[in-house]
Structure 1
Amino acid sequence: MDLKPIKQSFSVPYEYQLHFTRDLFQEENDLFLNIIRDYKDYEPVKLLFVVDRGVADTHPQLLDKITTYCEQNSSNLNHTKTLLIDGGEQSKNHSEYINLVLKGINDNAICRHSFVVVIGGGAVIDMVGYAAAIAHRGVKLIRIPTTVLSQNDSAVGVKNSVNIFKKKNFLGTFAPPYAIINDSDFLATLEQRDWIAGIAEAIKVALIKDVEFFSYIANNAIALKDRKLEPMQYVIYKCAEMHMHHISQGGDPFESGSSRPLDFGHWAAHKLEYMTNYELRHGEAVAKGIALDVTYAQLIGLISKEELNYILDVMKEIGFDLSLPLSSKEDLDKLLAGIEEFREHLGGRLTITLISGLGKKHDVHEIDMEIMKQAIEQLNLQMAVK
């Protein structure tokens, strides 16, 4: 008997939504209620809240407001429990945090028609999203990001991950959230470095996709540094919009290929985070990675010296420290090893996104290590002088 291969193909549509609000759990704000009610309006929906401890500390009314809000809307919201998780990259480095969330899902009988609601920075959202994606092969997730970086980039994508084997995001899933809710009130309590750090992702997407958006960032650099909310809200909105559009229209939402333009500046960033024991914020490391890659792009003739200086000046005006924390040849070698690690993370052919002009992405498939060393030296010398 000749048994021919059975082949099948299918497509699954994904839809998720990004909302903008203020004071989400204030009694008169019905946004969260309506999101849950739109999913199921005939019985209460189980909700497990996971909250970044740092956010709870800086917003001491938050936990009580969540409890009161759910009690007032108990015909639709069944608040089972709130878990507090230490924030920052450490939440992605230790399995105890994943296990705590998984235990919460199990103990509170959170099923595929229930919701995990995570409130916090990008690292906590990454980790909780990973736990939600592997429990019951996926329970529904609502992300409420509380930093600039998570509101404009990490929380609006479809990726979830944790770190292992000393490699960032080695374990992960592609699992779109049910919804993301950006509450601008959370931004008011950010440390200055966290306020600034998230702008790096906006600079990234502007440089590879939209010269007019980069001009807006440049023209508002001082206002952004000075914590003016209106330009920051526009930067968050525009960056999130472009990020989500890339996912839906880029043709590779689950990154099956080797080209990942949204990882511009990230090969060095991921390595620098690890080398500094994650003392560098992700956005701070991305800024350094972008600065290095545009310096390299200038050295190989992709952009002009004027364009390079313009980019670096804008980033410095916002408040970024663009120097690379390398104190020895060993540090240099460790950083350069990040290129091969990045290729492994991508899979297949090495593809590094650079730019050939403002708003023009340009992929390369090899890096000249000697020129990259020159770029590192030049960048650090330039930062030391100015």
Structure 2
Amino acid sequence: MEYIQQNFNVNFSYGVFFSSNLFDPANTCLASFLATKAEEAYIKKLLVILDGGVAAHHPALTQQIKQYFQQVPGFQLAPEIVTIAGGEGVKNDLPLLFSLVDAIDKYAIDRHSYVIGIGGGSLLDLVGFAAAISHRGVKHIRIPTTVLSQNDSGVGVKNGVNYKGKKNFLGSFAPPAAVFNDPVFLTTLDPRDWRSGMVEAVKVALIKDAAFFNRIEENAVAMTAGDMPAMQELIYRCAELHVQHIGGAGDPFESGSSRPLDFGHWSAHKLEQLTNFELRHGEAVSIGIAVDSVYSFLLGWLPEADMHRVLTVLKNMQLPIWHPLLEKQDGKPSPVVAGLEEFREHLGGRLTISLLRAVGKGEEVHEMDLELLYKAVDICKNNQ
């Protein structure tokens, strides 16, 4: 037998920058990054895809973007700033995906150029996937505009859209060239989006950093009321923990089934789908965290006092901890619980669920006791 063995490694590196008023001419953060990527031989192009809701709340933004990039040597902004809707619905719109691919083609955005997404996590997922499938991978820059995208999804390596009702069924692992977090965008968020974005920090603190959870616990009420310095502290630490895990766990592209950063997500993904995405992602994750924390208590892992601490933090953030779809429906299994098998498929084979051994310490299991799970649901219902 003859064969040829191929082995190679690909290095990925990107920065997550924190800077206010990103498109102020005096702010050189983004311009300085691009300057390091400029080439003397040719002009690189930039295509901006902007969330329409962000544009509406920041009416001067489009003009600011155009003026800002005029001062960046070596780059040329495409003549159109493509403005699309934001929100989860964009991930269910395949014609919209291909319209972005068409824009990349129309404005000749090659693999040396950049697509810049400005918006919430759903828009960034869509834009990143459009870039990833164009020319086998156009570079993309993310400018997240929500709490959730600044502290979690926007700093990661995944992109994707929903397909046949399955969340992120079509997607890619395509790390961004860079991420720029600007707190000014958070000032115009809907209160639901402000609140629900905090839950990913609760999640990562519970599985990785007890001291961070303590800090969140102290500031939960103030942050929910709009304390920006506390929110910026939360976003930075949450993003830092996510980035450290993605780069340090040895499986950034999730070749295996271990996904501790999905604590609370197995039920959340199904709840989003079953409610036709009326539940915000963060609201669904809050419910998922509550159920899995109570389940951890029922296993004898998490002390009862700590279980109640988790529920109290979520309630202090004005987030839900229960939904009727978690209960059996006319004697039939809960449609959310039935989603466990779908989550196993999404993981690529073996069911792997993250639970809590303690505040700050996650541990994975490969099966769930359904009777115990329904008891956890009842406790969440009774503690609303």
Q: Which TM-score applies when normalising by structure 1?
A: 0.96
How far off its partner does 1:194 sit? 0.6
Partner of 1:249: 248
Report if the CA contact (8 A) 2:38-2:75 is conserved: no
Q: 5+ unaligned residues in a row in structure 2: which ranges?
A: none
Q: Is the 8 A contact 1:33 1:77 kept in 2?
A: no
Alignment of 1:291-370 (within 5 A): 291-326=290-325, 329=329, 333-370=334-371
Report the alpha carbon displacement of residue 328 of structure 1 after superposing the two structures with TM.
6.0
Identify the residue that residue 117 of structure 1 maps to in structure 2: 116
Asked whether the 8 Å contact 2:15–2:178 carries over to 1, the reply is: yes
Q: How does 1:253-272 map to 2 (within 5 A)?
A: 253-272=252-271
Please report how far the alpha carbon of residue 160 of structure 1 lies from its aligned counterpart in structure 2 after TM superposition. Answer: 0.3
1:176 alignment partner AA: P
CA distance in 2, matches of 1:321, 1:377: 14
Determine the C-alpha separation between the residues in 2 that align with 1:71 and 1:246.
37
TM-aligned CA deviation for residue 76 of structure 1: 2.8
Deviations 1:179-227 (A, max 9, x none): 0000110000011111111111000000000000000000111111111
Q: Which amino acid aligns with 1:27?
A: P
Q: CA deviation at 1:70?
A: 1.8
Q: Which residue of 1 aligns with 2:3?
A: 5
Query: Pairwise mapping of residues 122-271 of structure 1 onto structure 2 (< 5 A)?
Result: 122-271=121-270
Equivalent position SS for 1:173 = strand
User: Does the 8 Å CA contact 1:36/1:45 hold for their aligned counterparts?
Assistant: no
Cα distance, 1:338 vs structure 2: 1.4
Q: State the secondary structure of the residue aligned to 2:334.
A: helix
Q: Which structure 1 residue ranges, 5 or more long, are not aligned?
A: none
Contact (CA 8 Å) 2:301, 2:356: kept in 1 or not?
yes
Q: What's 2:277 paired with?
A: 278
CA distance in 2, matches of 1:332, 1:108: 51
Identity %: 49
Counterparts in 2 of 1:294 and 1:48: CA distance versus 1, 3 Å? same
RMSD: 1.2
Q: 2:136, 2:213 → 1: CA distance?
A: 40
Q: 8 Å contact 1:208–1:359 — kept in the other structure?
A: yes
Q: Which moved more, 1:330-339 or 1:345-354?
A: 330-339
1:147-190 residue CA offsets vs partner (Å, 9 max, x unmatched)? 00000000100000100011001011001000000011000001
Output one character per residue of 1:287-341: Cα deviation in whole Å (capped at 9) or x when no partner.
1100011111111111121111111111111221212132761685211111111
For residues 295 and 229 of structure 1, the distance between their equivalents in structure 2, rounded to whole angstroms, comes to 31
Higher mean C-alpha displacement, 326-335 vs 342-351? 326-335
Whole-Å separation in 2 of the counterparts to 1:152 and 1:134: 25
CA offsets 1:241-266 (integer angstroms, 9 cap, x no match): 11000011111110011110000000
Q: Shift of residue 39 of structure 1?
A: 0.7
Partners of 2:243 and 2:68 lie apart in 1 by: 30
How far off its partner does 1:236 sit?
0.4
In structure 1, how many angstroms separate the alpha carbons of the residues matched to 2:163 and 2:100?
A: 18
Structure 1 position 45, deviation (Å): 2.0
Q: Which residue of 1 aligns with 2:85?
A: 86
Provide the C-alpha distance between the structure 1 equivalents of 2:84 and 2:333, rounded to a whole number of angstroms: 35
AA of the residue aligned to 2:17: H
Count of residue correspondences: 380
The one-letter code of the counterpart of 2:275 is: T
* Residue identity matched to 2:170: L
Give the one of 34, 37, 40 matched to 2:35: 37
